[in-house]
Homo-oligomer: A and B are copies of this chain.
């Protein structure tokens, strides 16, 4: 029963409610021993300031919002959010902030959602996720005067700070790993080019090929869903010269692609090497286990939360260093088949079955 108010504390401590407020927020003007007494009384009777009342008087919501603009079914398969939210929470809660969640269909471009949050004064700032290349949201929020932090690669418009793990090192790592295994014909299944993280991973991929001195391989745009990953893989394998390795923009598409390849009788990694991105829990337990790129999503969430709170408090931004994405090499990648290595025009036909000599999962 939070029937207790600051008045009860004031009365019990024999001071005015103003004094209690001062003591609680450790502001000057209260004698040390009085402060101690007030705090002790407050603790003894078990009083916690009402954040409702606080929010009203400080004209702050003491909450920040995370608006997720995706169709819920796509969402379900994304391992990103739960961990990310855990990271956010760990910072927010110790600062007395709450996290408000909103999931909206992404076809309404969620403008009304933000408007409502800010109109109703529910949040002091928001995290922006799943940004499109020409997304109206940053400008909208600037206009509304609501602080925001962009999650993901920087947008380049400089309106809001971006907090993200650079996609490039991970993708480059994957490409270099494949090149080292002898692959020279590497395909890519990308996320939507219209979305910033789809775009940036795509960029990272072509940059990495360039660095490796390889010709640009075939790249197919998908939408991060299993369905689209399978379809894209089908297209790549149907090419006159199918790639010997495929770099996927996320694990889900990679899994779907791997299954599709296997259903066609290809052996992974003997006939086709595959890399994912995310390092989902299941990745290590697939057959073969999936070589993928791992990022510390929890730390990412922590960083984003810190940044947003700084922005809200108009504090100077601190340097936030995120650990770079790291390639985790497992068993879905292997040396290119000798008969396919460096081939130019020869097409490789599918092999029926290659069961047997298969590297076992470590563990």
**A contact set with B: CB distance below 8 Å:** 1-2, 48-53, 55-56, 61, 63, 66, 68, 72-83, 85-87, 89, 93, 98-104, 116, 118-122, 144-145, 225-227, 229-230, 252, 255-256, 258-260, 262-263, 265, 280-282, 284-288, 297-298, 355-356, 358, 360-361, 363
Q: For A79, list chain B residues within 8 Å (CB).
A: 76-77
Q: For A77, list chain B residues within 8 Å (CB).
A: 79, 280-282
Question: Given known contacts A100-B98, A100-B99, A252-B282, is B83 in contact with A73 (CB within 8 Å)?
Answer: yes
Is A358 in contact with B120, judged by CB distance below 8 angstroms? no
Copies of this protein chain in the complex: 2
Question: Given known contacts A50-B120, A52-B61, A56-B53, is B263 in contact with A358 (CB within 8 Å)?
Answer: yes
Partner among B116, B122, B226, B356 whose Cβ is within 8 Å of the Cβ of A282: B226
Is B80 in contact with A120, judged by CB distance below 8 angstroms? no
In the complex, the 7 A-B pairs of residues with the closest C-beta atoms, listed nearest first: A72-B86, A76-B79, A259-B287, A75-B82, A48-B119, A256-B285, A77-B281
Is B86 in contact with A103, judged by CB distance below 8 angstroms? yes
Is A260 in contact with B282, judged by CB distance below 8 angstroms? no
Q: Residue on B with the closest CB to A227?
A: B285
Is B86 in contact with A51, judged by CB distance below 8 angstroms? no
Partner among B78, B81, B285 whose Cβ is within 8 Å of the Cβ of A255: B285
Is B72 in contact with A83, judged by CB distance below 8 angstroms? yes
Q: For A285, list chain B residues within 8 Å (CB).
A: 226-227, 229-230, 255-256, 259-260
Question: Given known contacts A51-B120, A120-B50, is B265 in contact with A355 (CB within 8 Å)?
Answer: yes
Partner among B121, B144, B287 whose Cβ is within 8 Å of the Cβ of A51: B121
Is A116 in contact with B48, judged by CB distance below 8 angstroms? yes
Q: For A72, list chain B residues within 8 Å (CB).
A: 82-83, 85-87, 298
